[in-house]
Homo-oligomer: A and B are copies of this chain.
Amino acid sequence: MRIAVLGTGTVGRTLGSALLRGGHEVRLGSRAADNEAAVAWVAEHGDQASAGTFADAAGFGELVINATAGAASLDALALAGEQQLAGKVLIDVANPLDFSRGMPPTLTVCNDDSLGEQVQRAFPEARVVKALNTVTAAVMVQPSLVPGQHTVFVAGDDAEAKATASELLGELGWPASSILDLGDITAARGTEMYMALWIRLWGALGSAVLNIEVRPGMAPAG
């Protein structure tokens, strides 16, 4: 499949490289077509890899991944172009983190709204799936770094889009039984607000390579 990855940071490049290994064609999108990180990434990865502006990438991709910084995502997606997102599965892996007030970061949107919802409202024809934003880039593409089975979430309004995203998660190493569908795109509030806990887990464990396993229990007796 031709996949656009918007964002040339660690998350975008890590996802892009993993998708190339999976046999996809990947175009990294950034604000400037001569973005250094993107040019270096293309040089490293050969002819299935390409780079361009957000619009170049979105035009190329049959599926689009938003891996831009959350605070910049709406602008980046506007540059990608509403028409070029229309009808496509848009996997939103961004978190609306605001580091401007120091550590720990706060969220630019939360509680009664989320970045996932903002993206879906701003691009109503895109088929937004919130996914992968609860793990660090290395775990996104190599879940086996964390022992045993652990959980990745999908949320979105379009069941087919969630199925497509789940297939892609499967290619990245996430067994179907590890993928938990949280419902519609409003559930992005849950996975984005989990960042406030995730950052503390990172601090407590001393490494961002971590995840949670969600485990159901039994009803209490009586």
Contacts and interface: CB of A to CB of B under 8 A. Distances in A.
Interface string A148-188: 10110001000000000000000000000000111100110
A139 B112 CA distance: 27
Given A110-B193, A182-B200, A216 B220 contact: no
Nearest to A136: B217
Given A111-B107, A145-B220, A183 B201 contact: no
Contact of A193 (B193, B201, B210): B193
Contact of A203 (B139, B151, B183): B183
Given A146-B215, A207-B216, A207-B219, 12 more contacts: A145-B217, A145-B220, A146-B218, A180-B201, A181-B204, A187-B200, A190-B197, A193-B196, A194-B196, A209-B216, A209-B219, A213-B215
A177 to B, nearest CB: 13
A48 interface: no
Number of copies of this chain in the oligomer? 2
Contacts of A35: none
A213 B210 contact: no
Interface residues of A, number: 50
A46 interface: no
A190 to B, nearest CB: 4
A217 B144 CA distance: 8
A64 B70 CA distance: 41
A180 B194 contact: no
A189 interface: yes
A43 interface: no
Nearest to A134: B197
